[in-house]
Chains A and B, each alone.
Chain A
Amino acid sequence: MSRRVWPLSLAAREGVATARTGRWTSLLMVLAVTWIVAAPGAADAISVSQLMDDEQAWIDAGGYVFVVTGAREDNSQNPIPAPACESLASVEGIGASFALQRSDATGTLSYIPGGRVSLYDVSAGVLDFLDAAPAGGGVLLATTGFVERTGAADGDVVTIVRRGATNTVPVMSDPLTLRAVDTAVLGDEFDGALLVPAHLTGMAESCYVRTDAAHVSAVEEALPALLAYEGKPAIPNLRLFESDFTVDYTHAYEDRSLRWVWVPAAALLGLLWAMLQWFRRSHVAIYATFGMKPAARLVMQLGEWGVLAGFGAVWGWGLGVVGALALGAHPAQAVALVSFHGLLTVVGATALVVLLGLRPAGTLLNALKDR
Chain B
Amino acid sequence: MRLSARDVSYTYPRGDHQVLAGVAFDIPAGTSAAIVGPSGSGKTTLLSLMGHLLPMQSGVIAAIGDDGRERSLADTASWVLQTVSLLPDRTAADNVAVGAYSDGASRADAWDRAREYLAAVGLAGHENDSARILSGGEAQRVAIARALASRRPIILADEPTGQLDARASATVLDAMIGAHGERTVVIVTHDPEVAARCNLVLELRDGVIYERARA
Contact = CB atoms under 8 A, between A and B. Distances in A.
Contacts of B122: none
Contacts of A289: 79
Interface of A: 2-6, 10, 13, 17-18, 21-23, 25, 282-283, 285-287, 289-292, 363-369, 371
A25 B44 CA distance: 34
20 contacts: A3-B105, A4-B104, A5-B103, A6-B101, A10-B101, A13-B107, A17-B90, A18-B90, A21-B89, A25-B89, A286-B87, A286-B98, A290-B98, A290-B102, A291-B101, A363-B51, A364-B79, A365-B51, A365-B53, A368-B48
Nearest to B104: A3
B89 A290 contact: no
Q: Count chain A CB atoms within 10 A of each CB in B48, B85, B86 and give the residue with the most.
A: B85
Contacts of A369: 48, 53
B160 to A, nearest CB: 13
B142 to A, nearest CB: 12
A167 B48 CA distance: 115
Interface in B13-34: none
A117 B146 CA distance: 98
Nearest to A2: B104
Given A23-B89, A291-B75, A368-B158, A17 B102 contact: no
A365 B48 contact: yes
A349 B82 CA distance: 37
Do most interface residues of chain A lie in helix, strand or loop, or is the interface mixed? helix
B150 interface: yes
Contact size range, B: 20 to 34
B79 A366 contact: no
B106 interface: yes
A367 B44 contact: no
Contact of A368 (B47, B78, B102, B146): B47
B99 interface: yes
Given A3-B106, A17-B94, A18-B89, A368 B81 contact: yes
A10 B102 CA distance: 11
Enumerate the 8 nearest inter-chain pairs by beta-carbon distance, A residue then B residue, closest first. Answer: A3-B104, A291-B102, A290-B102, A365-B51, A21-B89, A5-B104, A364-B85, A290-B98
B58 interface: no
B57 interface: no
Contacts of B89: 18, 21-23, 25
Nearest to B106: A3
A369 B49 CA distance: 11
Given A3-B106, A5-B103, A290 B150 contact: yes
A350 to B, nearest CB: 23
Contact of A364 (B81, B101, B103): B81
A5 B98 contact: no
Q: Count chain B CB atoms within 10 A of each CB in A287, A290, A366 and give the residue with the most.
A: A290
A366 B102 CA distance: 19
Contacts of B106: 3
Contacts of A368: 44, 47-48, 51, 53, 81, 158
Q: Count chain B CB atoms within 10 A of each CB in A4, A283, A291 and give the residue with the most.
A: A291
Contact of A21 (B90, B98, B102, B107): B90
